[in-house]
Structure 1
Amino acid sequence: MEKLVLGYAPTRRFTFSKEDAMKYKQLIKEKMESFGLGIDIVDLEGINEEGLLYERSEEAAIIKKFQDAKVDAVFFPHCNFGTEDTVARVAKAIGKPVLLWGPRDEAPLENGMRLRDTQCGLFATGKVLRRFNVKFTYITNCSVEDPTFERGFKNFIGAANVVKHFSSLRILQISTRPSDFWSVICNEGELLERFGIQIHPITLDELKQKTLKIEKTDTPELLEAIQYIKTTLDWSSVTEENVRRIASLKVAMKQLAAETRSTAIAIQCWSTLQDLIGIMPCLANAILTDEQIPVTCETDIHGAITSIMVQAATLNTHPTFFADITVRHPENPNGELLFHCGNFPVSLSVEEKPKLNKHFLFDDHSPGTHEGEIKGGSMTLARFDGDHGEYSLFLGKARGIEGPFTRGSYVWVEVNDWPLWEEKLVKGPYIHHSVGIHANVVPVLFEACEYIPGLTPDPVDPTEQEIRAWLRGSDLNKPSMVVSQ
């Protein structure tokens, strides 16, 4: 995955201390780098001797530098009062997510003079950004070492990465939706017009031809996929030929995604594919999802969109899993089963060697499902969906719990108030499909929606008020706050 590129434009104003502004420019950059996020930072060194934004005559050079570097977001830390009009013009020209923050001011000197007046400048810049119709993220004015800064910065970087991947999203659609699945109907034209999301459709016959062609070869890519399956899974229930075909299908799907420059796949996983090549695609889906190419079942385009957003919220460091929200826990009133036939990433399995099996629902019992329970812990569940021209992003957090054995890929989870979740999911615009990830990224996805016109965040737990309080740092002295990162 490409790294996120951050434009770093620390700013000052001539009437305040240049020396202190330069000191904080360095302190802030060192702090950002200490977070270990793996981002590329493009600063203003070379624009002037200070590496600071303050001269209006240098505005064009700053814009060009950021545009040439193809920055994905811009951070304008106010190292003293700052130059609000230039900040706004640069932000407007770049057109990417903007982070506004400044380090908390020290007490006045003994002679009554103040060196920075950073907070005052933040008020001014916020107003001017609004005048320029620039969306921006704000972190509470605090010290460089304050946990609020680290929390807000990391959250912004995650949100900017979501926006980056969302804005360049192309989905490989393998065949139409199954005829019985009216719930996954989507408006392809509206997705393109509203969000710029492209869909590249191909037929199952195209996938079949490519799979069978690859199967006859011994390319390193195919041999690696076969070896992965044999080493990682218990494949005793299927044949050597089954393993080779499943591996060939995985390689074919990955190549088709690369050829079409797609970052996610939505596939008609049953039942025509089994008639064509005699296998289920579940394990192939699982392996690709582990490789950061999420695959959704039943040609669920909105599910694929969700998967890319959720994956990007972790800076592409965690795999997603695509699940049916299925049945309530037999004993826990807030418990629910997340399940699918056999597509959850292998890396999430609780078993040392999870089972490669034959499908347990369809009459042909074709091989290719990856079955077993996945690990619990803290998770985020999300769903991008819409109808009647309105789109929203369902957000909630859950934790894994004990529950009875079931077939397929599964995990039992507990949420704060299941009847509330159920009401929201049934009344829509959502369906039974969701995307899970083992990370708390609700605040990241919530913030990302600020930069995606036409997409409304719809958090159920934590609430919008709790998310905003957490981002402000209001919970640091209030142990009762529930959101964690």
Structure 2
Amino acid sequence: MYENVSGPIIKKGLHPMTVAVRIGFVPSYRFQWTDWTARMRADSLAALSALKGVEAVLFPTPSANGATLDAEKGWTPHGAVHDLDEAEVIAAYFRQQRVDGLVLCPLDFGDERSAAKIAEQLGVPVLLYATREPAGLPGPALGRQSDSYCGNLSMASALYRRKIPFHFAGIFFPDEPGFAAALDPFIRAVAVVKGLRGARLGQVGVRPATFETVGYDEHALALKFGQNMIYANLDDIVDLARRYPDDDPQIGRVMAEVRGEFAQITVGDHYLRNAARLELALTEFWRRSKLSAMAVQCWPAIQRMMNISVCNVYSRLTDRGLLTACEADVLGALAMLISHRVALGETAPHFVDWTIQHRENPDWLLAWHCGNAPVSLAADRSQTALRSRKDMAGALPAPAVDPQAGLNQFQVRPGAVTLCRLAEYDNQWKLLITTGEIIPSDETLAGAWSWVAVKDHARLYRTLVEEGFIHHASMVHGDWTAALLQACRFLDIRPVVV
């Protein structure tokens, strides 16, 4: 017999920057609890708890007397669900445990009504899978053990009938390697949905005067995602920055960190000290406001107010998970949040311009911005530099005060990447999703940059133009198309895949 595992299963020692989700597992059975259903339950729990990005797996626990229902403890008679009463109990337990996504499995034929009831009450992303049919039962009846294949159709139709969006992963034994591969995009999609719903977004200052392109509708954000905008005047942030005295140990710490991040620095201590002040002020605003992402005014006011440029400050914030978009682009910050969460926080996003098409390779585009890429993305740390906008060659002596100082200069590391951009027109949301490959180059260019080879640049660029996507995007290493498509389904966002 298989042990009826008691829960929940919670992972310990996760890194603070790790993006992780809490999954509720609904093992469903029809009439009788058997050795086969117990085995599929145990194997499923073992597989789910091993998935990357899963902080905890919550599930029904068998009650001691095999009869009691308890919503606070998540008890059902067999640690599974097979009727509406058990469904109500487990839905309440999952709500209490703050489940972010549901995984449904008919261990045998399953019970469609109770599984759908839990999904209906939770309102979180749902994944459904069936188990393979084992050898038939011994004896003259020639009976089948599972019938999960058949019951899965009933469960799926119950979700469809209720207009509950779900993803069907396939038919597996849970200990197959393909099971984890099929569930990985779902876990990442749940991370995206969790990150967007109810997020607090910071906006510091205003957009550039001529950049209507980064305008957004705060009401639409509230309606779609339940998000809140947290505003700060740039004057107030600068005033907060100026309050840090020169001898504050935090200033010295940040300056030392910046000096240690670059192979070459051609800016002066005035920049390093004022940039440290601004970084600390923005960090304080982020933490006080409990933000998920922020968009900050970066020119021209800050150059006048603090005599620095802020690209490196934004790069350092983003590298620490404090996602910061340039030019007060709030939807750009949301795209960064999507990139960060779909990658489970394992690599930082780069907020880029769709800049130019390569002169010789028509399917290459330059993914660039002034100098904001996190240093963790550098292709070669020995080739990193912290520069002034007016001296990207590093050929001039650093002036004592330079409002153009503070731009990272390096090539972003090669590899597969996903670029995305969120857009909203007339309360209709869409997400541009495209993938490419960063191609190493021997060139030396200004700012933080990479040449990205895409499958069909002409089609991509025409799509950007005709669908109203602006010149900003978020780029992150890895191909996360499958996960983003699932996230779009759960959030009712139209995916635009090129």
Give the TM-score normalised by structure 2. 0.88
**What residue in structure 2 maps to residue 442 of structure 1?**
481
**What residue in structure 1 maps to residue 396 of structure 2?**
none
Equivalent runs, 1:95-174 vs 2, <5 Å: 95-109=123-137, 111=140, 112-174=142-204
Please tell me whether residue 360 in structure 1 is matched to residue 390 in structure 2. Answer: yes
Q: Is the 8 A contact 2:186 2:486 kept in 1?
A: yes
SS in 1 for 2:350: strand
**What residue in structure 1 maps to residue 3 of structure 2?**
none
Structure 1 vs Structure 2 CA RMSD: 2.0
**What residue in structure 1 maps to residue 419 of structure 2?**
381
SS in 2 for 1:10: strand
**What residue in structure 2 maps to residue 94 of structure 1?**
122
**What residue in structure 2 maps to residue 469 of structure 1?**
none
Superposed displacement of residue 219, structure 1: 4.3
Superposed displacement of residue 235, structure 1: 5.5
Cα 1:269–1:361 shift into 2, 3 Å? farther
Q: Is the 8 A contact 2:331 2:423 kept in 1?
A: yes
Superposed displacement of residue 234, structure 1: 4.0
Q: Deviations over 1:285-308 (max 9, x none)?
A: 001111112111111111011111
**What residue in structure 2 maps to residue 186 of structure 1?**
216
**What residue in structure 2 maps to residue 482 of structure 1?**
none
Cα 1:217–1:121 shift into 2, 3 Å? farther
Please tell me whether residue 9 in structure 1 is matched to residue 39 in structure 2. Answer: no
Please tell me whether residue 37 in structure 1 is matched to residue 50 in structure 2. Answer: no
Q: Is the 8 A contact 1:371 1:408 kept in 2?
A: yes
Q: Is the 8 A contact 1:238 1:367 kept in 2?
A: yes
Equivalent runs, 1:2-81 vs 2, <5 Å: 3-15=20-32, 18-45=34-61, 46=63, 47-81=75-109
CA distance, structure 2, for counterparts of residue 194 and residue 102 of structure 1: 32
CA distance, structure 1, for counterparts of residue 469 and residue 38 of structure 2: 50
Matched letter for residue 191 of structure 2: N
**What residue in structure 1 maps to residue 364 of structure 2?**
335
Superposed displacement of residue 52, structure 1: 1.0
**What residue in structure 1 maps to residue 352 of structure 2?**
323
Q: Which residue among 445, 448, 457 is the counterpart of 1:409?
A: 448
Unpaired segments ≥5 residues, structure 2: 1-16, 64-74, 393-400
Q: How many residues align?
A: 457
Q: Which residue among 450, 459, 481 is the counterpart of 2:497?
A: 459
CA distance, structure 2, for counterparts of residue 329 and residue 258 of structure 1: 41
Q: Which residue among 87, 108, 113 is the counterpart of 1:85?
A: 113
SS in 2 for 1:288: helix
CA distance, structure 2, for counterparts of residue 334 and residue 98 of structure 1: 37
Matched letter for residue 232 of structure 1: E
Matched letter for residue 415 of structure 2: G
Q: Is the 8 A contact 1:359 1:367 kept in 2?
A: yes
CA distance, structure 2, for counterparts of residue 443 and residue 215 of structure 1: 49
CA distance, structure 2, for counterparts of residue 212 and residue 262 of structure 1: 22
Larger radius of gyration: 2
CA distance, structure 1, for counterparts of residue 457 and residue 27 of structure 2: 46
Q: Report sequence identity in percent.
A: 25
Matched letter for residue 379 of structure 2: V
Superposed displacement of residue 229, structure 1: 0.4
CA distance, structure 1, for counterparts of residue 104 and residue 54 of structure 2: 19
Q: Deviations over 1:8-47 (max 9, x none)?
A: 12111115x6210011111111122333434211121151
Superposed displacement of residue 402, structure 1: 3.5
Superposed displacement of residue 56, structure 1: 3.1
Q: Is the 8 A contact 1:386 1:430 kept in 2?
A: no
SS in 2 for 1:75: strand
**What residue in structure 1 maps to residue 236 of structure 2?**
206
Cα 1:309–1:36 shift into 2, 3 Å? closer
Give the TM-score normalised by structure 1. 0.90
**What residue in structure 1 maps to residue 469 of structure 2?**
430
CA distance, structure 1, for counterparts of residue 424 and residue 84 of structure 2: 44
**What residue in structure 2 maps to residue 480 of structure 1?**
none
**What residue in structure 1 maps to residue 6 of structure 2?**
none
Cα 1:64–1:389 shift into 2, 3 Å? closer
CA distance, structure 2, for counterparts of residue 207 and residue 73 of structure 1: 37
Superposed displacement of residue 316, structure 1: 1.9
CA distance, structure 2, for counterparts of residue 361 and residue 170 of structure 1: 37
Range moving further from structure 2, 75-84 or 416-425: 75-84
CA distance, structure 1, for counterparts of residue 240 and residue 262 of structure 2: 25
Superposed displacement of residue 214, structure 1: 2.5
SS in 1 for 2:381: coil
